Structure 1
Amino acid sequence: MDTLMAVRGMKHVLLIDLSGSVVSSAGLEPAFLKRELGLIAAGKAVIGSLQSSLGATEWNELLLDVDGGPVLLTPFGPQILLTAFDDVTSLGRVRFAVRRLINP
């Protein structure tokens, strides 16, 4: 998580398991936890619906551009990694760092 937090523009990182429990986090203020867990739950519902409609078995990432700034959801084994960052212009840096973390 610390390597992701070193990426310019990164606000916070959150890793949750399939049950929705927090596995790890960095930079996350407690006030944002409920919001981010809600975003992950909504993202999982959208992903599930799209997978069902398209007949897909896997997904790569989901970008949500919300009021607090962009949030990228990425599968990380059986878990979901949420990365929140400052601006959509940082997306390339964030994607690169997430891929390096997932596929070292």
Structure 2
Amino acid sequence: MIDGLLDVRGVRHSALVGLDGKVVARAGLREADLPAELTLVAAGRAVIGSLQSNLNADGWQELLLDVDGGPVLLTPHGNQVLLTAFDDVSSLGRVRFAVRRLLGTV
């Protein structure tokens, strides 16, 4: 399913993470890099939960984290989160479009 994201210029890797923190699917992501990426997802979920609580918001669309290794886009998909790591923030529009097309929200 998510392998197609690797065809998008600038995308380094992607992972679909379940509510329990387990990887459901991954593309271009080495086993050794999983712990760091799962930590990002967990931290992102904590930030989103806090913001939702403080703002009385029901849902969220996406969260962009610009970390040392490059930007990471977290996108909700049901009770899962799609993590997409890419090369530069200037690629954000292209990556967002590809993610939305993949998830069927375009």
Short-chain TM bin = over 0.9
**Structure 1 segments of 4+ aligned residues over 6 angstroms from their partners:** none
What's the RMSD between the two structures over aligned residues?
Answer: 0.9
Gaps of 5+ in 2: none
Aligned to 2:80: 79
Q: Is the 8 A contact 2:61 2:75 kept in 1?
A: yes
Counterpart AA for 1:28: L
Match of 2:3 in 1: 2
TM-score after normalising by structure 2: 0.95
Equivalenced residue count is 104
Identity %: 67
Measured in 2, the distance between the counterparts of 1:90 and 1:31 equals 25
Question: What SS is found at the alignment partner of 2:58?
Answer: coil
1:46 aligned partner, one-letter code: V
How does 1:59-70 map onto structure 2 within 5 Å? Answer: 59-70=60-71
- How far, CA to CA, are the matches of 1:33 and 1:73 in structure 2? 15
Q: Which amino acid aligns with 1:29?
A: R
Gaps of 5+ in 1: none
For residues 6-17 of structure 1, the aligned pairs below 5 Å read 6-17=7-18
User: What do the CA deviations read for 1:24-77 (whole angstroms, capped 9, x no partner)?
Assistant: 000002221110000000000000000000000100000000000000000011
